[in-house]
Amino acid sequence: MTDKIALVTGGMGGIGQAICTQLGKAGYTVVSTFMRTGRDEAWLEQMQEQGIKAKAYQCDVCDFEQAQQLVANIKQDLGASVSILVNNAGITKDGTLRKMTYEQWQDVINTNLNSVFNLSKAVVDDMTNAGFGRIINISSINGQKGQFGQTNYSAAKAGMHGFSMALAQEVAKKGVTVNTISPGYIATEMVMAVDENIRNQIIAQIPVGRLGKPEEIASLVDYLASEAAGFITGSNIAINGGQHMK
């Protein structure tokens, strides 16, 4: 694994940081994107303290040209192409459809879904030429079952898996797999900041009786990224404590 590069969009917080840590400890060189200037310094320091080879690039993953340039810069700076792509960048801008603005719709679709196209397009040729690649798309339980006030988010997250199934068929014979992971409620800083009473109501709906851990999502990513997972492609793996089954 030591010569493989893993690119994780939105890798500097919550689930993304856990994924970077897991992949880094597995021996990958980890690359994360960021938007706000200065956010990369603390993240790089944390990675280095754990002995992880890491690099960060400022990139708006919604921008097609920036995504292309990002991947070109990685190849130039690190001397190798991206072998593992984890499309993890995502935002929410909730509201019922009657009140949702066009901007709320467009921003969520751009960040959560269009970015998947942008980055996958940028790496897929190198992966197929190399005869190995892993594209892992981080969706959501709400992309599977829908959620009140999240027509934009649910549509984008469901679209990620449609993308995965179609691309998986295009690249399967080239040694490239494309899969979706759909987490339920995970104990990230954002979720833990929710009022305790509301959080307890959420937990009451989860059969295992707790929130998920970011590390549990990261471990699944690590497996799907490995050569051992070469027979899994076009799948949507739910990791939600039994909250939604189908």
Strand partners, 54: 30
Which of residues 1 and 155 earns the better pLDDT score?
155
Q: Which pLDDT does position 134 carry in this prediction? A: 98
Q: Is 242 left (phi over 0), alpha (psi -120 to 50) or beta?
A: left
The model's pLDDT over 155-199, given as tens digits with 9 standing for 90+, comes to 999 999 999 999 999 999 999 999 999 999 999 988 888 899 999
Domain boundaries, the chain: 5-238
- Dmax (CA) of the chain: 52
Q: Give catalytic residues, as residue numbers.
A: 153
The model's pLDDT over 9-68, given as tens digits with 9 standing for 90+, comes to 999 989 999 999 999 999 999 999 998 777 889 999 999 999 999 999 999 999 999 999
Instruction: Quote the CATH superfamily of domain 5-238.
Output: NAD(P)-binding Rossmann-like Domain (3.40.50.720)
The model's pLDDT over 133-157, given as tens digits with 9 standing for 90+, comes to 999 999 999 999 999 999 999 999 9
Cβ–Cβ under 8 Å, residues 40 and 17? no
Inter-axis angle of helices 64-78 and 115-130, nearest 10: 40
Flag whether pLDDT at 3 surpasses 80: no
Phi and psi at 86, nearest 5°, equal -115, 110
The model's pLDDT over 72-89, given as tens digits with 9 standing for 90+, comes to 999 999 999 999 999 999
Cβ–Cβ under 8 Å, residues 211 and 234? no
What's the rounded Cα separation, in Å, for the pair 3 and 126? Answer: 15
What's the rounded Cα separation, in Å, for the pair 43 and 159? Answer: 30
